[in-house]
Amino acid sequence: MLDVRTLRTELDAVKAGLARRRIDVSDLDRAAELDARQRAALSEAERLRAEVKRLSGEVGRARKQGDAATAERLAADSRALGEQQATRDAEASALAAELRDVMLQIPNLPADDAPDGAGPEENVVLRTVGGDRTWADHQRVPHWEIGEQLGILDPERATRMSGSMFNMYRGAGARLLRALVQLSLDRAADAWEEVRPPSVVRTDTMISTGHLPKFADDAYQVERDELWLIPTAEVPLTSMHAGEVLDEAELPRRYAAYTPCFRREAGSAGRDTRGLLRSHEFDKVELMAFATPAAAPAVHADIVARAEGILADLGLAYRVLDLCTGDLGFGNRRTFDLEAYAPGCDQWLEVSSVSWYGDFQARRSNTRYRPAEGKGTEFLHTLNGSVLGWPRVWAALVETHRRPDGRIDVPEVLRPYLGGAETLP
């Protein structure tokens, strides 16, 4: 969340920053008002507490002097002030809780260098690789038809088991998915510690990333146990060091995790949900880092480069987008999206979103570091990115590498993970 202190000294600047997102900033005025009232209630409670302490001392002195009447009068005054103090303390606590609720609904400030824009149509395409190639007719077949023809994708049975927008990979399709996951984990092993976090988390863990309370409708909740199915490994990884203070010498901390991800896709009505384009459950490898503000840009660039490297080695056409302020995620300050081109769908498919959050998430999870020079502690910066989201990569790959005879050419980089196979199935 934002630092509430900025509302006291830089309210107009914060409003201007959030206005770049093309959103209503009236919540900021409400937050500033609640903050002022809460601080006033705390100040009054402290004043009353000091007065009660002073009166308690006078009561003791009066009793020592044998002045019972004065002692009783002062004790009655102290009790009355104590009740007022308790009222002010309760008021401050209620205002603090209300202020937190409002602050949790306020998105992050976009980075100064994030391009301005109202929505996806104004995102900036930084580079396109392979987008000018010529596609043959046999590559212009959508992956759901390829999957049915080869028996490697079985959405019909998945729907019978679990409902719409679930998928089942079979045979060579399942092995291809597993190979993609392992390739990504191996590529990250040089600098990123592999973690297999839980697939269900507590409410506080979802709040830490910004997924709650804002996006509750898109999440799967296990109400009986007060747990949530993770929409991305970012959620548990962001809380890896919740409440901890790390030494600067330990930073950046880098983690890689493969997990299933679960999303209701509540806002997908009317959008293309065929095949693997949009699913309630999917596999993804996530890279997550904790860094100092100074180191964050280099970490951000490293995640983008790793995602690009895999797409290039898979022989896919792809492009990199710099998201404009109107399309940034709730907690994001700067985001680069990677999209792979699927010739059978004739669509650019988002396969990675690489984001820098500043200290927005760290404030929610209370994750700090101790600078090597200087006193005290500071909030860390968090960064993450999908490397990669596999269903859409799978879709782009089988369409791109489909042969005239209907089989799939296996990119050379994947062959060691598939027993040396050059084609599938």
Q: Using DSSP, state whether 388 is helix, strand or coil.
A: strand
Residue 394: per-residue pLDDT: 98
Q: What is the fold, at CATH topology level, of the domain defined by 5-104?
A: Helix Hairpins (1.10.287)
C-alpha triplet 201, 207, 209: angle, nearest 5°: 90
What CATH number labels 120-424? 3.30.930.10
Residue 270: per-residue pLDDT: 55
Which residues are 353's β-sheet partners? 337
Q: What confidence tens digit (pLDDT) does each residue in 95-106 have?
A: 999 999 999 999
Entry pTM: 0.93
DSSP category for residue 108? P
Distance CA 330, CA 328 (A): 7
Domain layout of the chain by residue ranges? 5-104, 120-424
Cα distances (angstroms) measured from residue 113 to each of 241, 353, 406: 29, 17, 46
Distance CA 369, CA 347 (A): 43
Q: Report the phi/psi class of residue 151: left, alpha or beta, with left for phi > 0 and alpha for psi in -120 to 50.
A: left
**10-residue averages of pLDDT along the chain (425 residues):** 95 97 95 97 96 95 94 94 96 97 96 97 98 95 97 96 96 98 98 98 96 94 96 97 97 98 78 87 98 98 98 98 98 98 97 98 97 93 97 98 98 98 97
Domains 5-104 and 120-424 share a fold: no
Residue 272: per-residue pLDDT: 75
Tell me phi and psi for residue 55, to 5 degrees.
-65, -35
Q: What confidence tens digit (pLDDT) does each residue in 169-205 have?
A: 999 999 999 999 999 999 999 999 999 999 999 999 9
* Closest C-alpha to 131, from 310, 390, 324, 339: 339
